[in-house]
Amino acid sequence: QKEVEQDPGPLSVPEGAIVSLNCTYSNSAFQYFMWYRQYSRKGPELLMYTYSSGNKEDGRFTAQVDKSSKYISLFIRDSQPSDSATYLCAMSGTDSWGKLQFGAGTQVVVTP
């Protein structure tokens, strides 16, 4: 069983809808949680970075972490066709020095 599970999609939504993405994990030592966006043939771009449990909002993006359930989410409001990409969750323990565990990524398609 993988340490981080993420539904690969594709997830298709109409423009303006809310995109809801999530990952589950098994390692209770994870403390840092990240969401990256990756366009085709490009490197991942950091969207959200959170520590421990709670919510974090940045513009149209909201990240939620529920450590008791080992479950993290990313919500994208007012989705745009430019949000069409693969979204990767990643996480690590303390003192990780960049040794992240990644989900497989969810492909999102926002249709005009």
Partner 1 sequence: DGGITQSPKYLFRKEGQNVTLSCEQNLNHDAMYWYRQDPGQGLRLIYYSQIVNDFQKGDIAEGYSVSREKKESFPLTVTSAQKNPTAFYLCASTHSRDSPLHFGNGTRLTVT
Site residues for partner 1 per CB under 8 A: 2, 4, 6, 8, 32, 34, 36, 41-46, 49, 51, 88, 90, 94-105
Q: Is 79 in contact with 19 (CB distance < 8 Å)? A: yes
CB 43, min distance to partner 1, A: 4
Looking at the Cβ atoms of 17 and 96, the one nearer to partner 1 is 96
Per DSSP bridges, beta strands 101-102 and 106-111 are unpaired
75 vs 102, beta carbon nearer partner 1? 102
Instruction: Report, in Å, the least distance between residue 98 CB and partner 1.
Output: 5
Rank residues 17 and 61 by Cβ distance to partner 1 and give the closer one.
61
Q: Is the CB of residue 34 less than 8 Å from the CB of residue 91?
A: yes
From the list 46, 44, 32, the residue with the least C-alpha distance to 95 is 32
